[in-house]
Structure 1
């Protein structure tokens, strides 16, 4: 279509004169945002978190709809101040009670709140309400409360002020008589009585009968509770949202049906251990309470597929579903009823549902792609195929329990570790086919806190070393379960407790190396219900016990503490044996041998760099010599023969085994008293260790040079690091760049950036508003966005924004506005339009009020204001507030026109206006016209839409024609998007040939701009148009 045939805009066309002055400078990256509303790709450039405005600034309403001069703004400010001065002064007594209540909620100290009560009557009334809202019982506080609310005359109606009561920590001290004294609490909203086992229906009925506003009720573990109480709750408490009757054995379908029939607002119900509940009540619950968020049916063994199917079909908002020990469930419960998209489900517990198979997991993963906690313990039919289905949950999966799934192997666990990289809790107990290979893969999980490998008998020390060799996992592990891993040694466990400094729980029950009285003394006491055998093998270290174990093993290893070995006397007592050092007995230390020939381990340390361990006894006598050479540990184990025994005696006597202080060459003759065979052995050992050390040193040197070379390459060719930072922080920044760009691993990049941030703040003492810190935080937030952690990125931006706004100053405000744009983008992605709108209005208010000379460089408008206006208008368009969006777009366009006229005027010599040439305002003009076309089309005004789109395309084409060096891809992308929108309009009007021409044009522009999304969309449109035209030709 020629330019002569293009209609001009029909709205405000006279007030928007055309400009023929096109600038070649590339606009800000925001200009590459796509232009679409209902026609094509999203046109809204979004943002993220919650900005905190400075004390001197406040948002203004629709700041771009009017143009204010400096004099007008000053006059408005003066008028506001004059009006404020005429208002009556606000005193403590005149503050609204709602505001006082809100303020008092932030006072955490009871004594401070009591002081506030003494100020005036209104403060007293509000303070008393806060104090009695949720009484805290300590000492004899309960007695005082009962006496106070029972008095015939009271200063305040105390019973009516009570909204929440929690007696769960009082347990059996709570009786029906106590509850009867609380019947006056008619405004009670939350009542927690879990574990108060002395209560009966009598006490509960009197209280519930008055509390019609009850929202949450917890009566778990009250054995005497019957359906009468639950039926009364259904009759009286219509607003009930949460009910917990776990372990109430007498509850049946009758009570549950009464609640399900009348409490339609129910959100959470826990029926754990209610063995008399059947399918009938659960079906009715699903039909009448479709907004359920949590359903707990643990140990409800009468539940079948017939109950679960309607729950999955009707309760689409369910977040937690616990079906532990519902042994009658099969695959049909999930494969025939689960909806195609169960987005809200986060926790699913299928423990002991032994009949389900891999097919159930396939359906669950596809239907609930954001599942976070999955428990499949004792589901014996789960195989590697099922675990491979679970890997599709990817980064969303945090907690996985596969205990007793004995059919899974290393293959599926390896796949799991490589895909579900955010696992924090993993239990693989009794997965007997797993080997060290699985643990090697799991050691790369950056957030792993708990790993369970109980009874994985194939696990050896190699798995432990893999866990600690990976620094990230070593710094995150908190609980490790290794009970009955019989191949583990004390050496490996010592390395584990030394490297994992956050370790708070370590279970080693049944590990032979730890069945020693000196180690078991440090573990916690076994449970009382354990039998004698279980007590003997029990070995679990928790809290302080882990620290004591670490300290004791280290002292033994360094020789500062002598190990205490016991003989396990026949009477069941442990009699300590005093082990004599070599120097204290005979030359060979043979006086330390057990006279009875029992199997003891005796450690003897010489003053040289070797440690000798003699094993005695008839079954496995032998010698273990441990060599310490330049920080490395080497062990040689040989059976103890007569000839070797004599050789060992000589070696110990003369202390000549690989002494690092002795500088003999490999060919130097050994001591003359050795026979030739002994000399040859000695020389071979020395030569072998020398070559081993040289080889290790070479490998270390090559690795070091490779790392430093990589850092040099990054520093001088890609990402220079600030010289004012410590070298360790600079190395971390380089590592982060390598993991971001060269060898992508964003989780590792985040770890390096966090380390650099910590060093910069603590060692370099840089504030959060320092440019270096700001850059690091922005990189961390950007990586979080790339990883999909939008909430974490939003928190990073919010923390940075608060610091910048509190610091003030032009540079900080400018950075704060950039952060606001980024935050708003994330908010829009999260569909939190309200927050994004609030943040953008805050930024626009600052920009239009002229509070910053750095921001307000331009006469009429600047780039920051344009970007914020377009984002805010896009939000209005998303929410179908087209009038607001239209006004904002037109106001921005008008100011851009004025800016273009001002900068091109020959009379204008203002040096600030010359900065306009740094920005291609014409490109922004074309973008806004494209947006206006979309808005008018969405409003049903097709002619106006075509006019604006064609005008925007004309400007974009002009920018493309001026692009002689190919640097302005933005104009190509803009022209491609507008062409695609025009094609869609013509296609809907039935003008297929015109639509095809615009689609072809859009494809050409997208190809030139390297816009992959635009290419894909244009290709789809061309393919669809081609089929339509072919169909017409055939007809």
Structure 2
């Protein structure tokens, strides 16, 4: 066999590493080892040490790059294809495709997913991709993503490599000359959907996100040629009923359908689809579709007996439609409702008929009362997740009923339900021992006693989120820390009664903590972070924005005790100085994201020490820091080759820095 054409030795070595470190490493090792050791040699000499075996594989494999083609001469196409399919990351697959022409061809055959953003020639681009990747089964087209303009990086080995850039430019100019607007040229049209249908006949998943030029004609082409389609996402597409009717008639294996913000649809399309795909449809999402009413839901209830998930956001659906779904879809497991005209009658029916319900989310449901939750607690014994947001007429009584009946509850979020207080959460703590995540947002009536019960009863709690809970303080956090020692994520924001005592208890007891956020908790000081630094070595994310009592000592303790830290937000810390940033640079070598905005004592010296050590840094926010100048910004840009975003005032960016890294510099502050 011909010697493989080596395109890039570094990429090739990455490819070999990807091959030997993937899920099929042993298979590759065996093939390479059998090549290096003829059958006459005893197999007993092979080492059983996995690391030694991997080293042997790497040593033999890398000889491919030195002219000895052991892989291509031994491994058949089918085996290499299977290895490619099991690689975990796109970067590894791309590296493999650069080794030689054979691997490039095989990698293209193995590729099953493509993602396309807004481009200069989406229709022609789809046609090109369909010829290069014939076995694709998943296509994601999202026109919310930024337009990627063609860029000439200089001379290329192969002139055909610039075909895509030429294609985009030619398509844009051709369309503009024909009278089409420039914005239209970045939107996939029915011609593009026809190319999808013609090129990807094995298609199983198709996502068209905000593709405003796609109509029923293009969707009909997809329906007629892609008979194996199982998932269709039309979010934000103005398709009509005819396209949906065609999907119902032709795609009889459809399981997932997302119709969020499809304003052009009416009951006619959804009814016909329910009739055609009723036996297989398991997931349905509808939102902001003004012409889809109870008629559609009645059809879903009559024909879609296998439905497991329903997400419904509508002002035009009433009890009649949801009652039909509850009675006809007894296998329903996940229900999300934001329907202002649905009342207790419909949700009570869910509790009576949908005994397999596992997840329930209610958003801004002002007509539900405790009667609904009592029915859910009585009937839905398998409920594992409950989300209540802005449901003002639900109270402790309803939550107590859920606690008594739904003993498998693992996730609970209460957001802005002003009549739910301490007593309801105490019931959860006493009864729901499998609770793993609890979120309380804007719960002004929930006190320390509630979390004390959670700490006593919910030993498996791993995540706690508290936002604007005015009367929750240190005693509550202390109870959680001492009772829930498996806690991994703790987020507290604007809970002004929480101070150092509670956070110290977390540091002393929660050894597995990986994510800590205590934003604008102005009673938390350095002693709290010293305890975290001493007791939580696995910490990866830390946000202490606005905790003005925290200074150099606390951040230094984190830097010395938490080497795995990858995200750090110390914005609005007025007492933080350069010494702390130097310590972070010394101790947190895997740091990727840092926010130092509004830190008045941080200067160029501090960020210079930071970036000299933190070589993996990808984002740095440093607006409104008077001590940081254009020289400091240039230092950050020049030192961090992986940098993707720098947030800074425009006046602090020199012309040279702008030319060098304009694509990663942002001037708007949206996070503070």
Alignment TM-score, normalising by the size of structure 2? 0.56
> CA separation of 1:386/1:166 partners in 2, compared to 1, >3 Å: closer, same or farther?
same
- TM alignment of 1:141-220, pairs within 5 A: 142=94, 145=97, 158=106, 161-162=109-110, 164-167=112-115, 179-184=126-131, 188=135, 190-195=137-142, 197=145, 200-201=188-189, 202-220=191-209
Determine the structure 1 residue equivalent to 2:670. Answer: none
In the alignment, what sits opposite 1:447?
A: 434
What pairs with 1:46-85 in structure 2 (closer than 5 Å)? Answer: none
**Change in 2 beyond 3 A, CA 1:141/1:477:** closer
Match of 1:493 in 2: 477
Residue 295 of structure 1 aligns with which residue? Answer: 284
- Deviations for 1:839-884, whole angstroms, at most 9, x for unmatched residues? xxxxxxxxxxxxxxxxxxxxxxxxxxxxxxxxxxxxxxxxxxxxxx
Task: Please tell me whether residue 417 in structure 1 is matched to residue 403 in structure 2.
Answer: yes
Query: 1:270: which partner in 2?
Result: 258
Residue in structure 2 matching 1:230, options 195, 219, 242:
219
Q: Does 1:260 align with 2:212?
A: no
Q: 1:107 aligned to 2:24?
A: yes
Per-residue deviation, residues 740-797 of structure 1 (Å, max 9, x unmatched): xxxxxxxxxxxxxxxxxxxxxxxxxxxxxxxxxxxxxxxxxxxxxxxxxxxxxxxxxx
1:188 to partner: Cα distance: 2.6
Selected match of 1:342 from 329, 340, 352: 329
1:460 equivalent to 2:447? Answer yes
* CA drift at 1:161: 3.7
Measured at CA, do residues 135 and 328 of structure 1 come closer, stay the same or move farther in structure 2, by a change above 3 Å? same
What does residue 77 of structure 2 align with?
A: 125
Compare relative contact order (CA 8 Å, sep 6+) and give the higher one, 1 or 2.
1
Equivalent position of 1:887 in the other structure: none
Distance 1:142 1:272, change over 3 A: farther
Q: Cα distance, 1:344 vs. partner? A: 1.9
Query: For the Cα contact (< 8 Å) 2:193–2:219, is it kept in 1?
Result: no
* Residue number in structure 1 paired with 2:375: 389
**CA RMSD between the two structures:** 4.4
Q: Distance in 2 between matches of 1:250 and 1:341?
A: 29
- Note the C-alpha offset of 1:334: 2.8
Q: Which residue of 2 aligns with 1:361?
A: 347
Say whether the 8 Å CA contact 1:264–1:289 is kept in structure 2: yes
Residue 157 of structure 1 and its aligned partner are, at CA, apart by: 7.0
Residues 147 and 469 (structure 1), Cα distance of their counterparts in 2 relative to 1, 3 Å cut: closer
Question: Structure 1 residue 113: deviation in Å?
Answer: 8.2
Equivalents in 2 of 1:165, 1:368: separation in Å?
35
Is contact 2:97-2:105 (8 Å) kept? no
SS at match of 1:396: coil
Q: Contact conserved, 1:253 with 1:280, CA < 8 A, in 2?
A: yes
Structure 1 residues 515 and 255, CA, compared in 2 at 3 Å: closer, same or farther? Answer: farther
How far the C-alpha of 1:386 sits from its partner, in A, is 0.8
Secondary structure of 1:440's match?
Answer: helix
Closer, same or farther in 2 for the Cα pair 1:194/1:211, shift >3 Å? closer
Distance 1:162 1:575 in 2: 54
Return the offset for 1:501: 3.2
Give the total of aligned pairs.
Answer: 434
Inter-partner Cα distance in structure 2 for 1:576 and 1:130: 56
Aligned partners of 1:161, 1:176: CA distance in 2, in Å?
21
List aligned pairs for 1:661-672, cutoff 5 A.
Answer: none
Task: Indicate if the aligned counterparts of 1:398 and 1:423 stay in contact, CA closer than 8 A.
Answer: yes
In the alignment, the residues of structure 2 paired with residue 505 and residue 127 of structure 1 have an alpha-carbon distance, to the nearest angstrom, of 42
Following superposition, the deviation at residue 415 of structure 1 comes to 1.9
CA distance in 1, matches of 2:355, 2:362: 17
> Does the 8 Å CA contact 2:465/2:492 hold for their aligned counterparts?
yes
For 2:573 and 2:385, locate their aligned partners in 1 and report how far apart those are by CA, in whole Å.
Answer: 42
What SS does the corresponding residue of 1:441 show, helix, strand or coil? helix
Shift of 1:181: 3.2
- Give, in angstroms, the shift of residue 507 of structure 1: 3.9
The structure-2 alpha-carbon separation of the partners of 1:478 and 1:407, relative to structure 1 and needing over 3 Å to count, comes to: same
Structure number with bigger Rg: 1
Q: Shift of residue 143 of structure 1?
A: 9.2
Q: Which residue in 2 is equivalent to 1:482?
A: 466
Using the TM superposition, give the Cα deviation of residue 138 of structure 1 relative to its aligned residue in structure 2, in angstroms. Answer: 4.0
**For residues 345 and 576 of structure 1, what CA distance do their matches in structure 2 show?**
54
CA spacing shift, 1:274–1:289, aligned 2, 3 Å: same
- Could you report, residue by residue, the CA deviation over 1:463-516 in whole angstroms, capped at 9, with x for unpaired residues? 22222233xx1x322232332221122343244345433334434333233599
Q: Judging by fraction of residues, say which structure has more helix.
A: 1
Structure 2 gap ranges (5+):
1-21, 36-69, 148-186, 507-512, 536-546, 552-570, 577-672
The Cα offsets for residues 858-912 of structure 1, whole Å up to 9 and x where unpaired, read as xxxxxxxxxxxxxxxxxxxxxxxxxxxxxxxxxxxxxxxxxxxxxxxxxxxxxxx
Partner SS state of residue 232, structure 2: strand
User: Residue 200 of structure 2: SS of its match in structure 1?
Assistant: coil
| Matched residue, 1:308 | 297
- Measure the CA separation in 2 of the matches of 1:390 and 1:347: 13
1:875 counterpart residue number: none
| 2:359 aligned with 1:373 | yes
**Distance of aligned partners of 1:360 and 1:379 in 2 relative to their CA distance in 1, 3 Å threshold:** same
Report the counterpart of residue 543 of structure 1 in structure 2. Answer: 515
Q: CA deviation at 1:398?
A: 0.7
Report what 2:385 is aligned to. 399
Contact 1:329/1:355, CA 8 A, preserved across alignment: yes
- Bigger shift: residues 114-123 or 213-222: 114-123
Structure 1: runs of 5+ lacking an equivalent? 1-104, 523-540, 578-1035
Shift of 1:122: 9.2
**TM-score, scaled relative to structure 1:** 0.37
Deviations 1:337-379 (A, max 9, x none): 34746332111111x2111111102222222111111112211
Tell me, what secondary structure is at the counterpart of 2:287? coil
Paired position in structure 1 for 2:495: 511
Following TM superposition, by how much is the alpha carbon of 1:279 offset from its aligned partner in structure 2, in angstroms?
Answer: 1.3
Q: Which structure features the higher share of strand residues?
A: 2
| Residues 1:515 and 1:371: Cα distance change in structure 2 (over 3 Å) | same
